[in-house]
Chain A
Amino acid sequence: MAGVVKHRIRLSARSRSTLLYACLFLAPACLLLVIFRLLPAVSAFWHAFTQWDGVSAPQPVGLANFAELLGDGVFWTALRNNGILVASVPLWILVSLVLALLIYQEVPGWRFFRGAFFLPSVLSPVIVGTLFTALLRVDGPANQLLQALGLGAAAKDWLGNPATALPTLVLVILWSIFGLGVIVFLAGLAAVPSEIFEAARIDGARGWAYLRHIVVPSLRHVLEFWTVNLIVWSFTSLFAFVYVMTSGGPGYATMLVEYNLYLQAFEFNRMGYACALGTALFLMVFGVVLLQLRLMTGEKE
């Protein structure tokens, strides 16, 4: 009896010291996340309901920022541009998927091709953006190449023309990201027994039918994962491209929500309004992630 009690005391002393260690070990991570991520998030949400220049005391204005946002043409233009980016996600996926399937054939040099495709995605958007701005200038190499090929009529200021700026930006972004998609899809393909693909080939499945009925179902999870990743990424990770290549112009042709947020906050000192934009941005991303969770859990049931 006494032995059991003693044992129990020892156990609880031990679990107390375990708890102490757990607190100590988790402290740096938790403190950092609370101070530099959670508190600012709460603060951003609160400031979305104020008028604030970042220096003087914020004035509560209720929903005025959100009302202004809904009536702001720039916001809607930015949102439309973000929408166009999301709409181009299927193209990004198709390019990556087809190239991954081609590499999967293991033609000579496939390792080299895989590396070559992956290369752009490790480069900073700052480098990619600056490089392509130089390549696509009016008197830049891209236009000179067109002239040399006798297509001089097609030469233009790709990023300075409102009609071509956004499509050009989308293509540059595609250039910088498609290789990562190839890598992700190859990882997915490696997890599928290769007999499935071989059997389908022998049965004569080709082209679109092969893609739709054999490849897509086998890669469903990877495709879902990558789609959500790209959508979230298109809302939150393109600042540097826009900053370096177009500054949102010409006019508002390449304005994105996240770039508008930066401009409102740090060019026009409209911190309260920018916080409202941030809240809207968060809700959009949150919506996409929720939708994904819904899809995933719905499927399990």
Chain B
Amino acid sequence: MAKTIDGTKQCGKSAAPRWRSRRLDLGRVAVTLVLAAVSVTTIYPMLFMAFTALKGRREYLFNRYGVPLHPTGENFYNAWVYGKVGQYVGNSAIVVGASVLVSWAVCSLAAYALSHLRFTGRRWVFLAIVGSMMIAPQVIIIPLYTMLIDLHLLNKHLGLILVYVTFATPFGTYLLTSYFRTVPGELVEAAEVDGASHLQILWRVMLPVARPALVTLGIFNFLWMWNELLLALLILQDDSTRTLMVGVANLRGQYTTNIPLLSAGLFLAATPVLIVFFFFQSQLTKGMTMGAVK
């Protein structure tokens, strides 16, 4: 069978072994039922969140689990305006958008040098960059925090952007380097002879080749940055710069008993991620399993 990275198996009906088709497969029915039951446990909590968000507080008392009979948008409005979800979405969009863009640039430049510029110690620089993945945020969070205060970057979007890009660099550089390496060196040399600068080669040759990797990297970074709590919690403490996940975590304390409003806030916070999930599932799968199958 063809080896694919994303875990999809590419065998058609003809490849199905014969022993399967001969029996009336009670076994296969059982398998389907088990899978369906597990799917219910992953999907129902999401549906519960969506349904609850559409219910008024009174309806939630009488109709906890079912489809909303009198759907209302008031929870979304209240969460967006009074829960300040709208403001937090804006902050998260700025931080995550900028971080994803800057990370693309930083990692592409580094990956180009590590894959197509020959210099002594290249291997060590590569290992050092990838190896820095070992240093988890928790371990360095305290000096990082006091340093950002000293640099006047606390409570500024720029502070969190720089930290996010830093934490995204090892994996991004690793991913793009392995893609750029597939471009033959002769192609780069030919372009050099034609008078193209390294920056032009990177832009015109490498980036088009590495497009799938860039998409994967962008999605991957978007997801973890959008979902991240610890760094955002400590670096953007001011309500005006706060990101969405920190805002949602606070909303939980503020509206413990108003589950419909809380659900609306959660639903709004999850929406961008769900959109990415539905449209880019295969790229996502690829990115997540990169290291596994080698």
Report A's interface with B, CB cutoff 8 A. 15, 18-19, 21-22, 25-26, 28-30, 32-33, 35-41, 43-44, 47, 54, 99, 102-110, 112-113, 115-120, 122-127, 130-135, 141, 144-145, 175, 179-180, 183-184, 186-191, 193-194, 198, 201-202, 221-222, 225-226, 229, 235-236, 239-240, 243-244, 258, 261-262, 265-266, 271, 274-275, 278-279, 281-282, 285-286, 289
Contacts and interface: CB of A to CB of B under 8 A. Distances in A.
A107 B31 contact: yes
Given A36-B162, A54-B146, A187-B293, A28 B135 contact: no
Contacts, number: 283
Nearest to B270: A127
Q: Which of A47, A266, A286 has the most CB of B within 10 A?
A: A266
Interface of A is mostly: helix
A11 B8 CA distance: 48
A275 B142 contact: yes
Interface in B26-54: 28, 31-32, 34-36, 38-39, 41-43, 45-46, 48-49
Contacts of A28: 105-106, 109-110
Contacts of B173: 29
B45 A285 contact: no
B5 interface: yes
B169 interface: yes
Contacts of B158: none
A230 to B, nearest CB: 12
Nearest to B121: A22
15 contacts: A21-B113, A26-B113, A30-B125, A36-B147, A41-B135, A109-B32, A112-B39, A122-B284, A124-B226, A134-B263, A183-B285, A184-B292, A201-B17, A236-B136, A262-B141
Contacts of A32: 106, 162, 165-166, 169
Interface of B is mostly: helix
Nearest to B267: A127
B293 A25 contact: no
B143 A39 contact: yes
B191 interface: no
Given A131-B49, A194-B11, A239-B229, A21 B198 contact: yes
Nearest to A42: B143
Given A28-B105, A187-B289, 17 more contacts: A33-B132, A35-B166, A36-B144, A36-B147, A40-B143, A41-B140, A44-B143, A109-B32, A112-B39, A113-B36, A127-B269, A130-B266, A131-B49, A184-B289, A184-B292, A189-B9, A286-B134
Given A33-B169, A113-B36, A244-B252, A141 B110 contact: no
Given A44-B140, A130-B262, A141-B64, A221 B35 contact: no
B227 A124 contact: yes
Contact of B163 (A36, A135, A229): A36
B270 A123 contact: yes
B179 to A, nearest CB: 16
B39 A113 contact: yes
A125 B228 CA distance: 8
Contacts of A43: 140, 143, 147
A102 B42 contact: no
A22 B228 CA distance: 32
Top 7 nearest A-B pairs (CB, nearest first) are A124-B227, A187-B7, A43-B143, A40-B140, A25-B113, A186-B7, A29-B110
A131 B266 contact: yes
Contacts of A243: 229-230, 233, 249
Contacts of A47: 142-143
Contacts of B119: 15, 18-19, 22
Contacts of A258: 138
A28 B234 CA distance: 24
Given A32-B165, A103-B35, A194-B1, A125 B266 contact: no
